[in-house]
Amino acid sequence: MIKVVLVGTGNVSYHLQKVFSQTAAVNLIEVLPGRSDFTNILSGKNASSEKIKDADLFIIAVSDDAITEVSKHFRKCDKLVVHTSGSISIKNLPKEIRSGVFYPLQTFSKEREVDFKTIPICLEANNPKDLKVLKILAGIISNAVYEVNSEQRRALHLAAVFVNNFSNHLYQIGNEICIENNLSFDLLKPLIMETASKIDTLNPTEAQTGPAKRNDTGTIKKHLEQLTTENQKEIYSVLTHSIQNIYGKKL
Amino acid sequence: MIKVVLVGTGNVSYHLQKVFSQTAAVNLIEVLPGRSDFTNILSGKNASSEKIKDADLFIIAVSDDAITEVSKHFRKCDKLVVHTSGSISIKNLPKEIRSGVFYPLQTFSKEREVDFKTIPICLEANNPKDLKVLKILAGIISNAVYEVNSEQRRALHLAAVFVNNFSNHLYQIGNEICIENNLSFDLLKPLIMETASKIDTLNPTEAQTGPAKRNDTGTIKKHLEQLTTENQKEIYSVLTHSIQNIYGKKL
């Protein structure tokens, strides 16, 4: 059984608490807020000290900005200490400790259930033995465990901005167009789901369709006239050009 | 029972054939290629003529460019004639006939099964009686039937470019970043699915997350440095600004 202490009370911590509680192979012995009195807790002078002394690892699931600060308190800790962030290097943890990264690549919010079995967990550790511990822990909750170094993780986090943040923004523009035309956004939802599902079996190059790929300049011109804001027109143009470049066609 | 003749052999026709064949309430009496000898067929001088004389409606599921040309052959037809396109007005069908539109809002490819029950069918007709026929037919195969005029349909088709074509292109950029960093694109697939699923319960404004929304200028700057092509940088900047504008923050 792996004994875990979670640090932080945000979305990632919330979902890790849930999934750890559901398995007998993990003992979640404590959840400490990010602003806990770590000095006293870790030196044995606090009510939590007794509980956490048997921990195998501490998972620091706080905001990116707070990781360096919170992890400083663990400088004298002899346990494995990992963070859960996509964009923060393992080097931001104190050099003198057994450090690692346990990054679940998903968008988390407290209102939505997630199925951890399908969530890729990206692991890194500064020694092979600790990497093994992380692999065991990740393998208990997920079927998609990957070893990913800090540089790759940073790239993944950036890729996630494109496929998550930016795609959602395109949904928002779709919603704006619906509102302007007295249409329900529900009309677009099955298309959005199918677009995402399609790349499970086709790669995005094969899955691409539409006027930009076909170089259908008549439709592109009409679309640009139809759009009501300069912002929408700019996004349409930039993405259309980018698709045309891939398929070797230009306006 | 509604008796249907399909014109065209592309993806939309392929999937309509499948779904019509699965229901006893629709009799698909013939599928005519888009380049058929319509003059002879419709004037009763062809082998298909006998079969199609009892049809309730003709569904022209050919490419957008071919709709006007194909539909000209139906000028003297006394049946209901509809097309299946998102971007072509009902006015592109001959004025003298009973015309309409039967637009299933989905991305179709022959390799992928679709569940028609969830696909929005957008209907338009130039008389109420024919609209009723279309509503019955659409209601047999789908639970999402909408009355949508040509102007609204054109807007929907444009919105579909954003949520389908452009989102898929963002997946492609995610894929490029993975390839550059020796990472499997599989790592991003659960995130892509969750991003699409999320808007079933949250609207896109609520679902938005990321550095642009938080106005995290440090991360935005680092991301721009990380990107390897001018094209990726331009897309990142344009979409980041657009998100910042919505949430009232600027670089």
pLDDT value at residue A162: 98
Would you state the pLDDT for residue A249? Answer: 57
pTM of the complete model beyond 0.90 = yes
Phi-psi region of A196 (alpha: psi -120 to 50; beta: other; left: phi over 0): alpha
Confidence of residue A213 (pLDDT cuts 50, 70, 90): very high
pLDDT of B249 reads: 58
Res B136: pLDDT? 98
DSSP 8-state secondary structure symbol assigned to residue A90: G
Q: Can you tell me the mean pLDDT for B227-244?
A: 97
What residue of B is the nearest CA neighbor of A161?
A: B210
Secondary element (H or E) of residue A57: strand A57-60
pLDDT, averaged across chain B: 94
Q: φ, ψ for residue B91 (rounded to 5)?
A: -70, -15
User: Residue B139 pLDDT > 60, yes or no?
Assistant: yes
- pLDDT over threshold 90, residue B145: yes
Using the structure block, give the residue that is written with the tokens 């600027």. B250
H or E element, residue A189: helix A189-198
Q: Are B237 and A165 in contact (CB under 8 A)?
A: no
pLDDT of residue B244: 95
Predicted confidence (pLDDT) at residue A39 exceeds the cutoff of 90: no
Q: Edge to edge, what strands does the sheet with B145-147 contain?
A: B26-32, B2-7, B57-60, B80-83, B98-104, B121-125, B145-147
Chain A nearest CA to B107, separation (Å): 7
pLDDT (0 to 100) of residue B43: 86
The complex's ipTM works out to: 0.94
Contact status, residue A207 vs residue A198, Cβ threshold 8 Å = yes
Which structure tokens are listed for B208?
A: 């938005």
Mutate to test the interface with A, among B123, B162, B178, B244 (most CBs of A within 10 A): B162
| First-to-final CA distance of chain A | 61
Subunit contact B164:A210, Cβ cutoff 8 A: yes
- pLDDT tens for A121-161 read 999 999 999 999 999 999 999 999 999 999 999 999 999 99
Sequence-separated (6 or more) residues with CB below 8 Å from residue A56: A2, A3, A4, A79, A80, A133
Report the residue from B166, B178, B202 with minimal CB separation from A170. B166
Dump pLDDT digits (tens) for A177-197: 999 999 999 999 999 999 999
What residue of A is the nearest CA neighbor of B145?
A: A187
Residues B70-115: tens digit of each pLDDT: 999 999 999 999 999 999 999 999 999 999 999 999 999 888 899 9
- Looking at residue A251, what is its pLDDT? 43
SS3 call for A5: strand
In this prediction, residue A47 carries a pLDDT of: 78
What pLDDT was estimated at residue B48? 81
Kindly identify which residue of chain B lies nearest to residue A231, measuring between CA atoms.
B242
pLDDT of residue A45: 83
- The dihedral of CA B193, B196, B202, B207: what is its sign? positive
Instruction: Please give the residue that has the higher pLDDT: either A109 or B224.
Output: B224
Please identify which residue in the block is written with the tokens 């329900």: A184
Task: Classify residue B205 as exposed, middle or buried by CB count within 10 Å of its CB (0-12, 13-18, 19+).
Answer: middle
* pLDDT exceeds cutoff 70 at A74: yes
Nearest C-alpha of chain A: how many angstroms from B43?
A: 35
pLDDT of residue A236: 98
d(CA B188, CA B199) in angstroms, rounded, equals 18
Contact A79, A25 (CB under 8 A): no
Query: What would the pLDDT profile of B35-60 be if each residue is shown by its tens digit?
Result: 998 988 988 888 788 888 899 999 99
Break chain A down into helix, strand, coil percent, rounded to 5: 50, 15, 35
Q: Average model confidence (pLDDT) for chain A?
A: 95
Q: How far is B45 from chain A, CA to nearest CA, in Å?
A: 37
pLDDT at B250 over 70: no
Kindly tell me if the per-residue pLDDT of B248 is higher than 80. no
- The SS3 assignment for A125 reads strand
What are the DSSP calls for chain B, one per residue? -EEEEEE--SHHHHHHHHHHHT-TTEEEEEEE-TTS-HHHHHTT-SHHHHHHTT-SEEEE-S-HHHHHHHHHTTTT--SEEEE--SSS-GGGS-TTSEEEEEEE-S---TTS---GGGS-EEEEESSHHHHHHHHHHHHHH-S-EEE--HHHHHHHHHHHIIIIIIHHHHHHHHHHHHHHTT--GGGGHHHHHHHHHHTTTS-HHHH--SHHHHT-HHHHHHHHHH--SHHHHHHHHHHHHHHHHHTT---
Q: Which of A154, A174, A212 is the closest to B163 by Cβ?
A: A174
Contact A202 B111 (CB under 8 A): yes
Contact A122, A105 (CB under 8 A): yes
